[in-house]
Amino acid sequence: MFYEQRMAVPDSPADLRAEYAADLAGVVDQYGADTVANETDLDAETLESLEADTIADLTLEEAAQIQSQADGEPDADTIVEIACEHLLLGMTTAVLDVDAVESELPVDMDAKEIQQKIERRAPMSFGEYVHLQHTIVGSSP
């Protein structure tokens, strides 16, 4: 699950995104695109085409809505909260501030944007979340 605390990440953000795409597609396959569409802000066509490239365009909230459909999962708002808290915890563990994350991040976000997104004061795409998670966890000792 993408919102769980990670201690290691694959070699690239693309590999991490592919891992999460498979997880989210598995939820859709298990419950059906129409059923998941009825419970989320996404349409069945989008849900049927989930793959590493397309999940980057989802919002973190949309990814959480999909994940929350699986048995035993918390609601989408809780998933987003946990995911962002784990980013902050990872920054603490790796002794990173937002300026350090910005200098290592392979996407164009400044330190202020990073902080706003992690604190949930600005919207975050799932692609941005994956890059942030990869950078933070990859910097941990």
Span 4-53, pLDDT tens digits: 999 999 999 999 999 999 999 999 999 999 999 999 999 999 999 988 88
Domain holding 25, by residue range, is 1-141
pLDDT tens, residue by residue, 55-97: 999 999 999 999 999 999 999 999 999 999 999 999 999 999 9
Task: Report the distance separating Cα 61 and Cα 38, nearest Å.
Answer: 15
Asked whether 109 and 115 are in contact (CB, 8 A), the reply is no
Task: Please say whether the dihedral angle defined by the alpha carbons of residues 104, 106, 84 and 119, taken in this order, is positive or negative.
Answer: positive
What's the total number of domains in the chain? Answer: 1
Tell me how far CA of residue 106 lies from CA of 12, 26, 71, 87, 89, in angstroms.
Answer: 10, 28, 34, 16, 21
Helix 60-67 to helix 126-138 angle (10° resolution) is 90
Q: 0.85 exceeded by the pTM?
A: yes
pLDDT at 141 over 90: no
